[in-house]
Structure 1
Amino acid sequence: MTPETANQLRLRPAWSGLLPAAPFVGAALALVFLLMRGAGVLGPARWQWALPLGFVLMAAVPWILLSRQGRREIGLKAPTGRFAFSGALACGAASALLCFALGMLLYGRGADNWYVSIADSYRRAIPAGGMSPLMLQIALTLPACIFSPVGEEIFFRGFLQRAFAQRWGARAGGWIESSVFGLVHLVHHGLVANAAGLRPGIVSAALWVVLMVLTARMFGEIRRRADSVLPAIAAHAAFNFTMSMAIFQALW
Protein backbone atom coordinates (compact mmCIF):
# COMPACT_ATOMS: atom_id res chain seq x y z
CA MET A 1 0.00 0.00 0.00
CA THR A 2 1.46 3.34 -1.06
CA PRO A 3 1.37 6.39 1.26
CA GLU A 4 -1.18 7.96 -1.06
CA THR A 5 -3.46 4.92 -0.81
CA ALA A 6 -3.02 4.76 2.96
CA ASN A 7 -4.26 8.36 3.24
CA GLN A 8 -7.36 7.80 1.12
CA LEU A 9 -10.80 7.94 2.69
CA ARG A 10 -12.86 4.78 2.33
CA LEU A 11 -16.22 6.10 1.22
CA ARG A 12 -19.50 4.25 1.07
CA PRO A 13 -20.09 2.81 -2.44
CA ALA A 14 -22.78 5.40 -3.11
CA TRP A 15 -20.21 8.19 -2.62
CA SER A 16 -17.20 6.55 -4.31
CA GLY A 17 -17.28 9.02 -7.18
CA LEU A 18 -16.48 11.80 -4.70
CA LEU A 19 -13.11 10.29 -3.73
CA PRO A 20 -10.96 12.55 -5.96
CA ALA A 21 -12.83 15.60 -4.65
CA ALA A 22 -12.72 14.56 -0.98
CA PRO A 23 -10.48 17.51 0.13
CA PHE A 24 -12.87 19.98 -1.46
CA VAL A 25 -15.91 18.22 -0.02
CA GLY A 26 -14.24 18.46 3.40
CA ALA A 27 -13.49 22.16 2.89
CA ALA A 28 -17.09 22.80 1.79
CA LEU A 29 -18.43 21.01 4.87
CA ALA A 30 -16.06 23.04 7.06
CA LEU A 31 -17.47 26.24 5.53
CA VAL A 32 -21.05 25.10 6.19
CA PHE A 33 -20.20 24.31 9.81
CA LEU A 34 -18.44 27.66 10.16
CA LEU A 35 -21.58 29.47 8.98
CA MET A 36 -23.71 27.47 11.42
CA ARG A 37 -21.33 28.29 14.26
CA GLY A 38 -21.30 31.95 13.32
CA ALA A 39 -25.09 32.04 13.29
CA GLY A 40 -25.27 30.29 16.67
CA VAL A 41 -22.65 32.46 18.38
CA LEU A 42 -22.97 35.85 16.69
CA GLY A 43 -26.56 35.78 15.49
CA PRO A 44 -29.77 36.60 17.34
CA ALA A 45 -31.08 34.33 20.08
CA ARG A 46 -33.42 32.52 17.71
CA TRP A 47 -30.37 31.11 15.86
CA GLN A 48 -28.59 29.67 18.90
CA TRP A 49 -29.76 26.15 17.97
CA ALA A 50 -27.42 26.24 14.96
CA LEU A 51 -24.33 25.86 17.18
CA PRO A 52 -25.14 22.48 18.80
CA LEU A 53 -26.75 21.23 15.58
CA GLY A 54 -23.50 21.96 13.74
CA PHE A 55 -21.55 19.83 16.22
CA VAL A 56 -24.05 16.97 15.86
CA LEU A 57 -23.73 17.09 12.06
CA MET A 58 -19.92 17.14 12.33
CA ALA A 59 -20.07 13.92 14.32
CA ALA A 60 -22.48 12.40 11.79
CA VAL A 61 -20.29 13.02 8.72
CA PRO A 62 -18.27 9.75 8.94
CA TRP A 63 -21.46 7.68 9.29
CA ILE A 64 -22.99 9.41 6.28
CA LEU A 65 -19.98 9.34 3.95
CA LEU A 66 -17.61 6.58 5.09
CA SER A 67 -17.71 2.81 5.12
CA ARG A 68 -17.25 0.91 8.37
CA GLN A 69 -13.57 0.38 7.57
CA GLY A 70 -13.26 4.04 6.65
CA ARG A 71 -14.58 5.08 10.05
CA ARG A 72 -12.04 2.85 11.78
CA GLU A 73 -9.22 4.31 9.67
CA ILE A 74 -10.03 7.88 10.69
CA GLY A 75 -9.78 6.85 14.33
CA LEU A 76 -13.26 5.75 15.39
CA LYS A 77 -11.96 2.77 17.34
CA ALA A 78 -10.42 1.91 20.69
CA PRO A 79 -7.03 3.58 21.33
CA THR A 80 -3.69 1.87 21.77
CA GLY A 81 -1.59 2.43 24.90
CA ARG A 82 -2.50 2.18 28.58
CA PHE A 83 -2.23 5.89 29.33
CA ALA A 84 -3.89 7.29 26.20
CA PHE A 85 -6.75 8.93 28.11
CA SER A 86 -4.91 10.08 31.23
CA GLY A 87 -2.19 11.74 29.17
CA ALA A 88 -4.77 13.30 26.85
CA LEU A 89 -6.73 14.76 29.77
CA ALA A 90 -3.57 16.24 31.27
CA CYS A 91 -2.51 17.78 27.96
CA GLY A 92 -5.93 19.30 27.34
CA ALA A 93 -6.15 20.86 30.80
CA ALA A 94 -2.57 22.19 30.65
CA SER A 95 -3.19 23.77 27.24
CA ALA A 96 -6.32 25.57 28.49
CA LEU A 97 -4.44 26.89 31.52
CA LEU A 98 -1.64 28.14 29.27
CA CYS A 99 -4.15 30.00 27.07
CA PHE A 100 -5.75 31.50 30.19
CA ALA A 101 -2.42 32.57 31.71
CA LEU A 102 -1.24 34.16 28.46
CA GLY A 103 -4.50 36.05 28.01
CA MET A 104 -4.40 37.38 31.57
CA LEU A 105 -0.72 38.31 31.28
CA LEU A 106 -1.17 40.25 28.05
CA TYR A 107 -4.67 41.70 28.40
CA GLY A 108 -5.96 41.21 31.95
CA ARG A 109 -9.75 41.36 32.04
CA GLY A 110 -9.96 43.55 28.94
CA ALA A 111 -11.84 42.82 25.71
CA ASP A 112 -8.66 41.62 23.99
CA ASN A 113 -8.52 38.61 26.31
CA TRP A 114 -9.95 35.64 24.36
CA TYR A 115 -11.47 34.09 27.47
CA VAL A 116 -13.31 37.37 28.18
CA SER A 117 -14.88 37.14 24.73
CA ILE A 118 -15.95 33.57 25.41
CA ALA A 119 -17.37 34.61 28.79
CA ASP A 120 -19.41 37.28 27.00
CA SER A 121 -20.75 34.65 24.59
CA TYR A 122 -21.73 32.53 27.60
CA ARG A 123 -23.69 35.46 29.02
CA ARG A 124 -25.51 35.92 25.74
CA ALA A 125 -26.33 32.23 25.50
CA ILE A 126 -28.08 31.81 28.85
CA PRO A 127 -29.54 34.74 30.82
CA ALA A 128 -28.34 34.60 34.41
CA GLY A 129 -31.69 35.59 35.94
CA GLY A 130 -33.30 32.86 38.02
CA MET A 131 -30.25 30.55 38.03
CA SER A 132 -27.74 30.12 40.82
CA PRO A 133 -24.06 30.58 39.90
CA LEU A 134 -23.49 26.82 40.25
CA MET A 135 -26.43 25.90 38.03
CA LEU A 136 -25.38 28.49 35.47
CA GLN A 137 -21.86 27.07 35.44
CA ILE A 138 -23.14 23.52 34.97
CA ALA A 139 -25.59 24.58 32.24
CA LEU A 140 -22.78 26.18 30.23
CA THR A 141 -19.92 23.81 31.01
CA LEU A 142 -21.63 20.47 30.41
CA PRO A 143 -22.58 21.11 26.75
CA ALA A 144 -19.10 22.57 26.10
CA CYS A 145 -17.59 19.28 27.29
CA ILE A 146 -19.80 17.14 25.06
CA PHE A 147 -20.95 18.74 21.81
CA SER A 148 -17.78 20.56 20.76
CA PRO A 149 -15.21 17.85 21.67
CA VAL A 150 -17.15 15.02 20.05
CA GLY A 151 -18.22 16.88 16.92
CA GLU A 152 -14.99 18.77 16.25
CA GLU A 153 -12.60 15.89 16.92
CA ILE A 154 -14.52 13.43 14.77
CA PHE A 155 -14.79 15.95 11.95
CA PHE A 156 -11.45 17.81 12.14
CA ARG A 157 -8.98 15.21 13.46
CA GLY A 158 -10.89 12.35 11.88
CA PHE A 159 -12.56 13.14 8.56
CA LEU A 160 -11.03 16.46 7.51
CA GLN A 161 -7.43 15.61 8.36
CA ARG A 162 -7.65 12.41 6.30
CA ALA A 163 -9.36 14.24 3.43
CA PHE A 164 -6.56 16.83 3.28
CA ALA A 165 -3.88 14.17 3.74
CA GLN A 166 -5.29 12.38 0.71
CA ARG A 167 -4.22 15.31 -1.45
CA TRP A 168 -1.32 16.94 0.39
CA GLY A 169 0.12 14.18 2.60
CA ALA A 170 -0.28 13.51 6.31
CA ARG A 171 2.04 16.24 7.60
CA ALA A 172 0.79 19.07 5.38
CA GLY A 173 -2.79 17.85 5.70
CA GLY A 174 -2.52 18.03 9.47
CA TRP A 175 -1.29 21.62 9.39
CA ILE A 176 -3.96 22.67 6.90
CA GLU A 177 -6.70 21.05 8.98
CA SER A 178 -5.36 22.72 12.14
CA SER A 179 -5.24 26.09 10.39
CA VAL A 180 -8.88 25.74 9.35
CA PHE A 181 -9.71 24.84 12.96
CA GLY A 182 -7.89 27.95 14.20
CA LEU A 183 -9.62 30.27 11.74
CA VAL A 184 -13.03 28.84 12.61
CA HIS A 185 -12.44 29.94 16.21
CA LEU A 186 -12.35 33.60 15.16
CA VAL A 187 -16.10 33.31 15.70
CA HIS A 188 -15.36 33.15 19.44
CA HIS A 189 -12.71 35.88 19.55
CA GLY A 190 -11.85 38.25 16.76
CA LEU A 191 -15.33 38.67 15.32
CA VAL A 192 -17.09 39.05 18.68
CA ALA A 193 -18.14 42.47 19.97
CA ASN A 194 -17.92 43.06 23.70
CA ALA A 195 -20.59 44.71 25.86
CA ALA A 196 -19.31 48.19 24.99
CA GLY A 197 -19.60 47.51 21.28
CA LEU A 198 -15.83 47.30 20.75
CA ARG A 199 -14.10 44.52 18.89
CA PRO A 200 -10.92 42.77 20.04
CA GLY A 201 -7.73 43.96 18.41
CA ILE A 202 -6.17 42.36 15.36
CA VAL A 203 -3.09 41.26 17.29
CA SER A 204 -5.06 39.48 20.02
CA ALA A 205 -7.29 37.81 17.40
CA ALA A 206 -4.19 36.60 15.53
CA LEU A 207 -2.68 35.26 18.75
CA TRP A 208 -5.92 33.44 19.50
CA VAL A 209 -5.86 31.78 16.07
CA VAL A 210 -2.24 30.72 16.58
CA LEU A 211 -3.11 29.25 19.99
CA MET A 212 -6.01 27.33 18.46
CA VAL A 213 -3.84 26.05 15.59
CA LEU A 214 -1.23 24.79 18.05
CA THR A 215 -3.94 23.27 20.26
CA ALA A 216 -5.36 21.50 17.22
CA ARG A 217 -1.92 20.14 16.38
CA MET A 218 -1.68 18.81 19.93
CA PHE A 219 -5.05 17.09 19.54
CA GLY A 220 -3.86 15.69 16.22
CA GLU A 221 -0.68 14.31 17.77
CA ILE A 222 -2.72 12.69 20.55
CA ARG A 223 -4.93 11.12 17.89
CA ARG A 224 -1.90 9.89 15.94
CA ARG A 225 -0.11 8.37 18.93
CA ALA A 226 -3.24 6.60 20.19
CA ASP A 227 -4.34 5.60 16.66
CA SER A 228 -7.78 6.72 17.76
CA VAL A 229 -9.79 9.92 17.87
CA LEU A 230 -11.24 9.04 21.29
CA PRO A 231 -8.31 10.35 23.40
CA ALA A 232 -8.37 13.54 21.31
CA ILE A 233 -12.03 13.94 22.30
CA ALA A 234 -10.99 13.49 25.94
CA ALA A 235 -8.24 16.11 25.57
CA HIS A 236 -10.66 18.55 23.95
CA ALA A 237 -13.22 17.97 26.72
CA ALA A 238 -10.52 18.60 29.35
CA PHE A 239 -9.53 21.82 27.54
CA ASN A 240 -13.13 23.08 27.50
CA PHE A 241 -13.76 22.07 31.11
CA THR A 242 -10.61 23.84 32.34
CA MET A 243 -11.38 26.90 30.22
CA SER A 244 -14.89 27.07 31.67
CA MET A 245 -13.58 26.71 35.23
CA ALA A 246 -11.08 29.51 34.64
CA ILE A 247 -13.79 31.76 33.21
CA PHE A 248 -16.21 31.23 36.08
CA GLN A 249 -13.57 31.46 38.80
CA ALA A 250 -11.62 34.46 37.48
CA LEU A 251 -13.67 36.35 34.89
CA TRP A 252 -17.38 35.95 35.72
Structure 2
Amino acid sequence: MTTATSQTYTKPTRRTAPGWPELLAGGAAYIGCLALVYLLLPLVENDAVAGVVGFVVSGAMGMVALAVAALVRIRGLAAFGIRRAKARHLLAGAGLGLVAFILGGIASAIYSTLSGDAQNVQSDYQAGAAAGLLGLVLTVIAGSIITPIGEEAFFRGVVANSLFNRFPAWLAVIASATIFAVAHGFNTVLPVAFVVGVLTALLFRRTGSIWPGVVLHGVNNVTATIIAPLAIAAATS
Protein backbone atom coordinates (compact mmCIF):
# COMPACT_ATOMS: atom_id res chain seq x y z
CA MET A 1 0.00 0.00 0.00
CA THR A 2 2.79 2.37 0.78
CA THR A 3 6.38 2.95 -0.08
CA ALA A 4 8.62 5.97 -0.12
CA THR A 5 9.66 5.07 -3.64
CA SER A 6 6.18 4.99 -5.16
CA GLN A 7 5.98 5.91 -8.80
CA THR A 8 5.13 9.50 -9.61
CA TYR A 9 1.44 9.97 -10.19
CA THR A 10 0.45 10.63 -13.79
CA LYS A 11 -3.02 12.04 -14.26
CA PRO A 12 -5.14 9.69 -16.40
CA THR A 13 -6.56 10.87 -19.68
CA ARG A 14 -10.24 10.88 -20.55
CA ARG A 15 -9.75 7.59 -22.38
CA THR A 16 -8.19 5.82 -19.40
CA ALA A 17 -10.02 7.50 -16.51
CA PRO A 18 -13.48 6.55 -15.22
CA GLY A 19 -16.29 8.62 -16.70
CA TRP A 20 -20.06 8.80 -16.87
CA PRO A 21 -20.61 5.05 -17.56
CA GLU A 22 -18.64 4.06 -14.46
CA LEU A 23 -20.22 6.79 -12.34
CA LEU A 24 -23.77 5.83 -13.32
CA ALA A 25 -23.23 2.08 -13.00
CA GLY A 26 -21.45 2.36 -9.67
CA GLY A 27 -24.00 4.86 -8.41
CA ALA A 28 -26.90 2.57 -9.30
CA ALA A 29 -25.21 -0.32 -7.51
CA TYR A 30 -24.57 1.81 -4.42
CA ILE A 31 -28.17 3.07 -4.29
CA GLY A 32 -29.44 -0.50 -4.63
CA CYS A 33 -27.24 -1.64 -1.76
CA LEU A 34 -28.29 1.35 0.33
CA ALA A 35 -31.97 0.50 -0.16
CA LEU A 36 -31.35 -3.05 1.06
CA VAL A 37 -29.48 -1.77 4.10
CA TYR A 38 -32.32 0.56 5.08
CA LEU A 39 -34.71 -2.38 4.85
CA LEU A 40 -32.61 -5.01 6.62
CA LEU A 41 -30.37 -3.25 9.16
CA PRO A 42 -33.30 -2.26 11.44
CA LEU A 43 -33.91 -6.00 11.91
CA VAL A 44 -30.72 -6.17 13.98
CA GLU A 45 -32.08 -5.48 17.46
CA ASN A 46 -28.83 -5.38 19.46
CA ASP A 47 -27.34 -1.87 19.26
CA ALA A 48 -23.73 -3.03 19.62
CA VAL A 49 -24.10 -5.65 16.88
CA ALA A 50 -25.90 -3.13 14.68
CA GLY A 51 -22.99 -0.73 15.09
CA VAL A 52 -20.37 -3.23 13.94
CA VAL A 53 -22.60 -4.49 11.13
CA GLY A 54 -23.31 -0.92 10.04
CA PHE A 55 -19.62 -0.15 9.67
CA VAL A 56 -18.95 -3.38 7.76
CA VAL A 57 -21.92 -2.87 5.46
CA SER A 58 -20.86 0.73 4.72
CA GLY A 59 -17.54 -0.56 3.47
CA ALA A 60 -19.08 -3.46 1.58
CA MET A 61 -21.45 -1.18 -0.34
CA GLY A 62 -18.55 0.90 -1.59
CA MET A 63 -16.62 -2.17 -2.67
CA VAL A 64 -19.62 -3.56 -4.55
CA ALA A 65 -20.14 -0.22 -6.30
CA LEU A 66 -16.46 -0.07 -7.28
CA ALA A 67 -16.60 -3.62 -8.64
CA VAL A 68 -19.64 -2.78 -10.77
CA ALA A 69 -18.00 0.40 -12.05
CA ALA A 70 -14.79 -1.45 -12.89
CA LEU A 71 -16.70 -4.06 -14.89
CA VAL A 72 -18.17 -1.43 -17.23
CA ARG A 73 -14.86 -1.18 -19.07
CA ILE A 74 -12.33 -3.75 -17.90
CA ARG A 75 -9.10 -2.03 -16.83
CA GLY A 76 -6.56 -2.03 -14.04
CA LEU A 77 -7.72 -0.83 -10.65
CA ALA A 78 -5.01 1.84 -10.73
CA ALA A 79 -7.43 3.86 -12.88
CA PHE A 80 -9.67 4.05 -9.80
CA GLY A 81 -6.92 5.19 -7.46
CA ILE A 82 -6.07 1.71 -6.14
CA ARG A 83 -2.38 2.44 -6.35
CA ARG A 84 0.53 2.92 -4.00
CA ALA A 85 0.87 6.12 -2.03
CA LYS A 86 3.97 7.77 -0.68
CA ALA A 87 4.59 7.67 3.06
CA ARG A 88 4.40 11.44 3.38
CA HIS A 89 0.97 11.45 1.76
CA LEU A 90 -0.26 8.83 4.23
CA LEU A 91 1.11 10.88 7.12
CA ALA A 92 -0.64 13.94 5.69
CA GLY A 93 -3.83 11.90 5.63
CA ALA A 94 -3.45 11.05 9.31
CA GLY A 95 -2.92 14.69 10.24
CA LEU A 96 -5.84 15.82 8.10
CA GLY A 97 -7.98 13.19 9.81
CA LEU A 98 -7.61 15.13 13.05
CA VAL A 99 -8.32 18.37 11.18
CA ALA A 100 -11.47 16.77 9.75
CA PHE A 101 -12.55 15.73 13.25
CA ILE A 102 -12.21 19.29 14.55
CA LEU A 103 -13.78 21.04 11.54
CA GLY A 104 -16.50 18.40 11.30
CA GLY A 105 -17.38 18.86 14.96
CA ILE A 106 -17.71 22.60 14.48
CA ALA A 107 -19.80 22.15 11.32
CA SER A 108 -22.04 19.61 13.06
CA ALA A 109 -22.58 21.96 16.01
CA ILE A 110 -23.58 24.77 13.65
CA TYR A 111 -25.94 22.42 11.80
CA SER A 112 -27.56 21.34 15.09
CA THR A 113 -28.00 24.95 16.21
CA LEU A 114 -29.58 26.05 12.94
CA SER A 115 -31.75 22.97 12.38
CA GLY A 116 -32.60 22.05 15.96
CA ASP A 117 -31.56 18.47 15.17
CA ALA A 118 -29.35 17.13 17.96
CA GLN A 119 -30.06 13.42 17.47
CA ASN A 120 -27.07 11.12 17.88
CA VAL A 121 -27.34 8.93 14.78
CA GLN A 122 -24.08 7.15 15.57
CA SER A 123 -25.17 5.70 18.92
CA ASP A 124 -24.99 2.15 17.53
CA TYR A 125 -21.31 2.61 16.67
CA GLN A 126 -20.63 3.90 20.16
CA ALA A 127 -22.57 1.00 21.66
CA GLY A 128 -20.38 -1.40 19.72
CA ALA A 129 -17.22 0.26 20.99
CA ALA A 130 -18.52 0.11 24.57
CA ALA A 131 -19.50 -3.58 24.39
CA GLY A 132 -16.37 -5.02 25.99
CA LEU A 133 -12.96 -5.68 24.50
CA LEU A 134 -14.27 -7.74 21.57
CA GLY A 135 -16.83 -5.10 20.68
CA LEU A 136 -14.19 -2.38 20.84
CA VAL A 137 -11.74 -4.30 18.64
CA LEU A 138 -14.39 -5.17 16.04
CA THR A 139 -15.71 -1.61 15.97
CA VAL A 140 -12.24 -0.14 15.55
CA ILE A 141 -11.40 -2.57 12.72
CA ALA A 142 -14.71 -1.99 10.97
CA GLY A 143 -14.79 1.77 11.48
CA SER A 144 -11.15 2.61 10.81
CA ILE A 145 -10.35 0.09 8.06
CA ILE A 146 -13.34 -1.57 6.37
CA THR A 147 -15.63 1.45 6.07
CA PRO A 148 -12.89 3.87 4.91
CA ILE A 149 -11.58 1.47 2.27
CA GLY A 150 -15.02 0.82 0.81
CA GLU A 151 -16.25 4.40 0.91
CA GLU A 152 -13.02 5.87 -0.45
CA ALA A 153 -12.93 3.26 -3.22
CA PHE A 154 -16.33 4.39 -4.44
CA PHE A 155 -16.73 8.04 -3.49
CA ARG A 156 -13.19 9.06 -4.41
CA GLY A 157 -12.05 6.26 -6.73
CA VAL A 158 -15.22 6.40 -8.83
CA VAL A 159 -17.30 9.50 -8.04
CA ALA A 160 -14.66 12.20 -7.48
CA ASN A 161 -12.38 10.59 -10.06
CA SER A 162 -15.05 10.71 -12.75
CA LEU A 163 -15.97 14.30 -11.92
CA PHE A 164 -12.34 15.47 -11.87
CA ASN A 165 -12.00 14.34 -15.46
CA ARG A 166 -15.13 16.17 -16.61
CA PHE A 167 -15.32 19.39 -14.58
CA PRO A 168 -13.06 22.03 -13.01
CA ALA A 169 -11.31 20.73 -9.90
CA TRP A 170 -13.16 23.02 -7.46
CA LEU A 171 -16.54 21.94 -8.81
CA ALA A 172 -15.59 18.25 -8.70
CA VAL A 173 -14.47 18.58 -5.08
CA ILE A 174 -17.69 20.30 -3.98
CA ALA A 175 -19.96 18.03 -6.01
CA SER A 176 -18.35 14.78 -4.88
CA ALA A 177 -18.29 15.94 -1.24
CA THR A 178 -21.97 16.88 -1.47
CA ILE A 179 -22.87 13.46 -2.88
CA PHE A 180 -20.88 11.80 -0.10
CA ALA A 181 -22.59 13.93 2.55
CA VAL A 182 -26.12 13.30 1.24
CA ALA A 183 -25.40 9.55 1.19
CA HIS A 184 -25.03 9.79 4.97
CA GLY A 185 -28.52 11.27 5.35
CA PHE A 186 -29.86 14.64 6.45
CA ASN A 187 -28.71 14.57 10.05
CA THR A 188 -25.83 15.79 12.22
CA VAL A 189 -23.38 13.60 10.30
CA LEU A 190 -24.07 15.38 6.98
CA PRO A 191 -21.76 18.38 7.60
CA VAL A 192 -19.07 16.08 9.00
CA ALA A 193 -19.24 13.91 5.89
CA PHE A 194 -19.01 17.01 3.70
CA VAL A 195 -15.80 18.11 5.44
CA VAL A 196 -14.33 14.61 5.09
CA GLY A 197 -15.45 14.52 1.46
CA VAL A 198 -13.72 17.81 0.64
CA LEU A 199 -10.43 16.88 2.30
CA THR A 200 -10.28 13.36 0.85
CA ALA A 201 -11.15 14.63 -2.63
CA LEU A 202 -8.31 17.16 -2.40
CA LEU A 203 -5.93 14.39 -1.29
CA PHE A 204 -7.06 12.20 -4.16
CA ARG A 205 -6.57 15.05 -6.61
CA ARG A 206 -3.05 15.61 -5.29
CA THR A 207 -1.90 11.98 -5.08
CA GLY A 208 -4.03 9.96 -7.50
CA SER A 209 -4.41 7.33 -4.76
CA ILE A 210 -7.30 6.53 -2.43
CA TRP A 211 -4.98 5.41 0.40
CA PRO A 212 -4.20 8.83 1.91
CA GLY A 213 -7.96 9.43 2.01
CA VAL A 214 -8.47 6.03 3.62
CA VAL A 215 -6.06 7.03 6.39
CA LEU A 216 -7.79 10.41 6.84
CA HIS A 217 -11.20 8.75 6.87
CA GLY A 218 -10.10 6.09 9.34
CA VAL A 219 -8.55 8.57 11.77
CA ASN A 220 -11.66 10.75 11.66
CA ASN A 221 -14.01 7.79 12.15
CA VAL A 222 -12.18 6.24 15.07
CA THR A 223 -11.75 9.64 16.75
CA ALA A 224 -15.30 10.89 16.24
CA THR A 225 -17.28 7.71 16.87
CA ILE A 226 -15.09 5.83 19.33
CA ILE A 227 -12.27 7.71 21.08
CA ALA A 228 -14.06 11.00 21.78
CA PRO A 229 -17.35 9.46 23.04
CA LEU A 230 -15.53 6.94 25.26
CA ALA A 231 -13.32 9.70 26.66
CA ILE A 232 -16.36 11.87 27.42
CA ALA A 233 -18.16 8.92 29.04
CA ALA A 234 -15.13 8.15 31.20
CA ALA A 235 -14.76 11.78 32.24
CA THR A 236 -18.40 12.12 33.26
CA SER A 237 -18.81 8.76 34.99
Distance 1:144 1:58, change over 3 A: same
Partner of 1:177: 176
| Aligned positions of 1:53-68 closer than 5 A | 53-63=57-67, 64-65=70-71, 67-68=74-75
CA distance in 2, matches of 1:40, 1:242: 27
Matched residues in 2 for 1:233 and 1:103: separation?
Answer: 21
CA contact (8 A) 1:219 1:235 kept: yes
**Residue-by-residue CA offset, 1:95-147 (whole Å, 9 max, x unaligned):** 11333356568869xx9446x33125543xx596xx43x44433322211122
User: What are structure 2's unaligned runs of at least 5 residues?
Assistant: 1-11
Map 1:159-174 to 2 at 5 A.
Answer: 159-168=158-167, 170-174=169-173
Aligned residue type for 2:121: S
Contact preservation (8 Å) 2:94, 2:215: yes
Amino acid across the alignment from 1:34: L
Question: 1:211 deviation in Å?
Answer: 3.3
Q: Which amino acid aligns with 1:152?
A: E
Query: 1:175 is aligned with what amino acid?
Result: I
Larger radius of gyration: 1
* TM-score, normalising length: structure 2: 0.71
The structure 2 residue matched to 1:211, chosen from 182, 189, 192, is: 192
Distance 1:40 1:140, change over 3 A: farther
Cα deviation digits, residues 22-79 of structure 1 (max 9, x gap): 33223323322432443465x221795576245224225445525444x212211112
> Contact between 2:26 and 2:65, CA under 8 Å: does it hold in 1?
no
CA contact (8 A) 1:77 1:228 kept: yes
The answer to whether the Cα contact below 8 Å between 1:153 and 1:229 also exists between their aligned partners in 2 is yes
Q: Take 1:246 and 1:180, find their aligned partners in 2: how far apart are those partners?
A: 26
Equivalent residue runs for 1:231-246 within 5 Å? 231-243=212-224, 244-246=226-228
User: What is the correspondence of 1:143-154 to structure 2 with a 5 Å cutoff?
Assistant: 143-154=142-153
1:100 aligns with: 105
Q: Distance in 1 between matches of 2:90 and 2:123?
A: 28
Aligned to 1:35: 35
Query: SS state of the match for residue 164, structure 1?
Result: helix
CA distance in 1, matches of 2:163, 2:184: 19
The CA RMSD measured in Å over matched residues stands at: 3.5
Query: CA contact under 8 A between 1:76 and 1:228: conserved in structure 2?
Result: yes
Inter-CA distance 221–20: structure 2 relative to 1 (3 Å threshold) = closer
Identical columns (%)? 16
Which residue is equivalent to 2:13?
6
